[in-house]
Structure 1
Amino acid sequence: MEAKDGYLQIPSLKGKVSDAEWQARVNLAACYRLVDMYGLSDMIANHISARIPGEDGVFLINPYGMMYEEITASSLLKSDFQGNIVGGPDFGDLGYGVNRAGAVIHSAIHEARHDVGCVLHTHSWASMAVSSLECGILPLTQTAMRFLKVAYHDYQGVVLNDSEKVSLVNDLGMNNVLILRNHGALTTGSTIAEAFNWMHRLELSCYAQLASMACNSPLSKVPQKVLEETWNNYQPGTRRPFGVMEWPALLRKLDRTDPSYKN
């Protein structure tokens, strides 16, 4: 596959896939660009996946070898739960495929959680730092109180074996946030917009916690009753789904800076 002016020349899949798949591709490519824009990417590492409405047993994910800032709707690969590529572009001599850890993590969650439409995994410096703390994420700020009851998964090495799928799924449970200890962070959502919202707020909470702890001053504690009430205000029964309000604005932000994600 050739590159021109720093961009891979990937033929558009628009009109060659279903309308539902194309829309999922556009939104997922937008999510990759936003994760990079907000400083949460790690070169070609990590992965974000999304279901295709109306299709079972498959999900969209990034080709291992592309930077988040260059992901487009047509560059995304379609993988089955066994890690086989069943759709997407031919990268020719580049040989880009699905990252093995991505295949294990994302197939495990999509197969077990049919309510999950998107899985987002990062290695930002903030979430990696918090994942290495025995205390995990602390409810120090209003934003962090949303994460009062997140899940944790103990580090077992690079996630390359299917044998880890069971513990990953069991530890995640029905939560939307999983702190991968000594590793990073993972969020899920019924939509791509929701998963991004969870991750954005999680990262803000991690930044604030690390900044507070670095001051070497006593931390102000909030009464447990107030923590529980605040956490409850973030739950689905008390508010609209996360991501609904800001996603159109985030897409407009991308359109103003670089609309090539839609290619």
Structure 2
Amino acid sequence: MKSHDFAYLRATSLDQALNALAETEDAIVLAGGQSLVAALNLRLQMPELVVDINHLPGLDQIENDGGELRIGALVRHAQLMESAAAAKALPLIGMALPHVAHPAIRNRGTTCGSLAYGDPAAEMPACAVALGATLVLASKEGTREVPARRFYRGLYETSRAPHELLIAARFPVAPEGARPIFAEVATRRGDFATLGLAGQIHVEGGMIAAFDLVAFGSEPAPLLLENTAAKALGRVPDAGLIAELAQAVAEEVDPMESPLATVEMRRRQYRALAERGLSVAMEFADV
């Protein structure tokens, strides 16, 4: 199929892009286009106007101020993968990015585009929720900041208004000694995840001081596993705790119905995935 007819604007300034979004009832933003172009060609989306932001200055930067890593709207997945600053500041992102699609898509796709799109099978929204990122939204009226943990509402549903543009994502730098947790199930490497876990564990004095874990892929939106975290805090990480937390994950998730697997099968997969991911993370933590 081919897309329906639409108007196209190659924006040369942020103000021009935001004005176009404000003045057009059905406008959509083109950055990497790896999800958008497919949706257009399948006529899953039929906008009146496509606003191309690829030529806007200053949105392709990765900045580290010591406490936060700021990822601009035009930072490609491949650029983020190659960033030494990002690898040091956000080890979870470094672990998850190789699972994002395939090299050709990572070369064009943007991290903020993935965050804004809100695909439940995407790795980056799950990482943003796990790490407590803040999303910076701009509009003709100004900017506002939304915690990632309040941004995702359901299947492809976010709190971004149609006239808003996600211009950056701010990630807190991981504390010294924090270790990533990442594992997913996919038909093959780079395919959409059918389910996955993304998170971070921080051990101090031999006990778990912070534990943030998100389930994704089988849920309508990234699910922060707060009940599981409550069982982990203040505990000594060992094989017994790993088994207990894996069971807690299986009990807390609420997988969507799927023709590929029953809900019970998904819970068993989550249990096995959690055991694997937590075992690796806790070995990294030297416990």
Bin of the TM-score, shorter chain as denominator length: under 0.3
Task: Output the TM-score relative to the length of structure 1.
Answer: 0.28
Higher helix share: 1
Task: Output the TM-score relative to the length of structure 2.
Answer: 0.26
Larger radius of gyration: 2
Higher strand share: 2
